[in-house]
Amino acid sequence: MTQATTVEPRDQLDPGVTAPERNGKNGAPRWVLGLIVPVVAVVLWEAGARAGLVSTRLMPAPSEIAATLAGLAANGVLFGHMGATTARVLVGFVIGAAVGTVLGAATGVAPRFRALFDPTLQALRNIPSIAWTPLFILWFGIFETSKILMIALGVFFPVYLTLSGAIASVDRRLVEVGRVYGLGTTALVGRILFPASLPTYLIGLRNGLGLGWMFVVAAEFLGASQGLGYLLVDGQQTGRAALIVASIVMFAVLGKLSDRLLAWGGGRLTGWQDGFTAKAPA
């Protein structure tokens, strides 16, 4: 007699945590491996600064940057600037992603709509972000509206392009099956086209979020009185390199945390996938 083997069903596993993350070959979570490079870089950077190999006037030591962040946090200033920047990115991301999703779905589903609008959108996509700055100031002033719309513009293009291309690339046989079962255009999008393009669409959202963090820097150069971009300008004008680098570090930290959160949520939505790579990269 052969002994039955009990296999844990896939749907009982956490869809957002892959096997390498759960039981890594080295016994450590994968996010720990991701810390090796930055930690080594910081240690070498600090050692070089203390040994005089790195000019601390132009490139402050990590300890000085940490002290600057600690001082800003103790005064309560840091969290105000972080909150202002994060709020702008969040609102801009929601607007840009919503418009990009609607237009991306429309151009992906309707070839005539794509032929009508896609060439113009592709041309606008190649305009550098800084080129929009004077026009947005002229149209919307230097207050929050222009900043948020600039961020939304940066988010829009990768979301639109990714979703449009993903829908257009869905296997035609899946669409034919839907037609056989009498699905109309709306039902076809909701039940076949969008689910099939969801993994690629989530990548577009992550790319859009990354560009949103890039565009917020240009947006906060438009005369902002609060935000991490304002700290960058303040550090430049006052010659405080530590403040500049500290602001850059906070952009990196907030950008990574928001991307990780979006990837985590996407991993839950695409838990049905049995892909080779991880669903929610560290």
Q: Which tokens in the block code for residue 174?
A: 């899946």
Three-state secondary structure of the chain: CCCCCCCCCHHHCCCCCCHHHHCCCCCCCHHHHHCHHHHHHHHHHHHHHHCCCCCCCCCCCHHHHHHHHHHHHHCCHHHHHHHHHHHHHHHHHHHHHHHHHHHHHHHHHCHHHHHHHHHHHHHHHCCCHHHHHHHHHHHHCCCHHHHHHHHHHHHHHHHHHHHHHHHHCCCHHHHHHHHHCCCCHHHHHHHHHHHHHHHHHHHHHHHHHHHHHHHHHHHHCCCCCCCHHHHHHHHHHHCCHHHHHHHHHHHHHHHHHHHHHHHHHHHHHCCCCCCCCCCCCC
Kindly report, residue by residue over 138-162, the tens digit of the pLDDT: 888 888 888 899 999 999 999 999 9
pLDDT digits (tens, 9 = 90+) for 217-275: 888 877 778 889 889 888 888 888 899 999 999 999 999 999 999 988 887 777 666 65
Structure confidence at residue 282 (pLDDT): 53
For position 31, what pLDDT does the model report?
73
| Averaged pLDDT of the chain | 82
- Give the confidence band of 276 by pLDDT, cuts at 50, 70, 90: low
Q: For domain 84-225, give the CATH number.
A: 1.10.3720.10
Q: How far is CA 30 from the centre of its chain?
A: 20
Q: How confident is the model at residue 198 (pLDDT cuts 50, 70, 90)?
A: confident
Length of the chain: 282
Q: Averaged over 160-166, what is the pLDDT? A: 91
Stretch 35-57: mean pLDDT, rounded?
87
pLDDT at residue 44 tops 70: yes
